[in-house]
Amino acid sequence: MRDFYQVTVAEVIRETGDASSFVLDVPPSLAVAFAYRPGQFVTVRVPSEQTGSVARCYSLCSSPHAEERPAITVKRTAGGYASNWFLDTVTAGTVLDLLPPAGTFCPGSLDGDFLLFAAGSGITPVISILKSVLAAGRGRVALVYANRDERSVIFAAGLRRLVTSAAGRLVVLHWLDSVQGIPAAAGIADLARPYAGWEPYVCGPDPYLAVVRAALGRLGVPAKRVRAERFLSLAENPFDETPTTSTANGGQAATLSVELDGTATALPWPPGTRMLDVLIAAGLDAPYSCRQGICGACACQLVAGEVEMAHNEVLEAADLADGYILACQAVPLTPEVRVTY
């Protein structure tokens, strides 16, 4: 079982008819544990009568650079157990079980120009990046935001205020299904064309991601430049007992050198064993959540050697080019492997 923290909800803010933000009262004693980068998420334990609990990841909509308390936004989905629990039962004073912030949907620098795409609740990590660039960066931001209709636009009033206060650094372009129809590559490309040279980040359902990728392709933006965040359900619950160590047949035995929390450690790495399991067995507090290669919480940077990942739903081409790997999916291909967190 992962170590988790209990954090009280300080305030609930109704954003739309089916979405609310939950402001977290993180005490000073947890300030270091809950330090986060724009675009990251927290994992929440949601009680369940059937299984005891389920785990869900929710992006932080707040900015660590804008003097805001951490907050997550939850949108109700049809049949969504966790989202309905949040919107129907969580109030100010509710205590949540949380894993610390994690994820890789984060700019390396806030000083560039950013072309951001969001659809529906995909705005949550995107607005964290947007506010952070305006507060702590020097660049400009263009946001293309798709929703069903005007009433569905999460953070509508806040976005208008940001446009007014940003002194020309922020452009918000809305796509409403009720007006323009379902998002199409040609239409999205038309909106994004003036900003095609800016850094593209996109978050939303898979059909929207596909449309945006096609639109950027029309504009000549290389696919490897596009950073995307997908919302996927966790296949395992990190709040339950730690799953059985995962192994594969055969493979390369190795020595794993890991730098974690400023400390370097060398460990024997048995063939076929996942890196995360080696770290956990050694008693190291390595970050992780889903153990399925879909959340990015366990991402670390490969400094030397080679590994193979059994599954990857979260790391983009740019992440892989920078050496990032998923510890929960990595097995060694060389006798020496060195990573850093």
Helices (H) and strands (E) in the chain, counts: 8, 18
Query: What kind of architecture, by CATH, is found in domain 5-102?
Result: Beta Barrel (2.40)
Which region, left, alpha or beta, applies to residue 276 given φ > 0 means left and ψ of -120 to 50 means alpha?
A: alpha
Burial 297-328 (b: 16+ CB within 10 A, else e): bbbbebeebebebeebebbbebbeeeebbbbb
The C-alpha atoms of residue 19 and residue 156 are separated, in whole angstroms, by 12
Residue-by-residue pLDDT tens, the chain, 341 positions: 567 999 999 999 999 999 999 999 999 999 999 999 999 999 999 998 777 788 899 999 999 999 999 999 999 998 888 999 999 999 999 999 999 998 889 999 999 999 999 999 999 999 999 999 999 999 999 999 999 999 999 999 999 999 999 989 999 999 999 999 999 999 999 999 999 999 999 999 999 999 999 999 999 999 989 999 987 666 667 787 554 445 554 578 999 999 998 999 999 999 989 999 999 999 998 988 778 888 888 999 999 999 999 989 888 888 898 899 999 999 999 999 999 99
DSSP helix/strand/coil, 319: helix
Q: Are the C-beta atoms of residues 212 and 127 closer than 8 Å to each other?
A: no
Domain regions of the chain by residue span: 5-102, 114-229, 254-340
Q: Which of 3.90.226.10, 3.90.340.10, 3.40.190.10, 3.40.50.80 is the CATH number of 114-229?
A: 3.40.50.80
Q: What is the DSSP string of 224-272?
A: GG-EEE-----SS-TTSSPPPPPB-SS---EEEEEEETTEEEEEEE-TT
Q: Would you say the CATH fold of 254-340 matches that of 114-229?
A: no
Dig out the tokens for 18 from the structure: 């089916």
The one-letter amino acid code at 255 reads: T
CATH fold of 254-340: Ubiquitin-like (UB roll) (3.10.20)
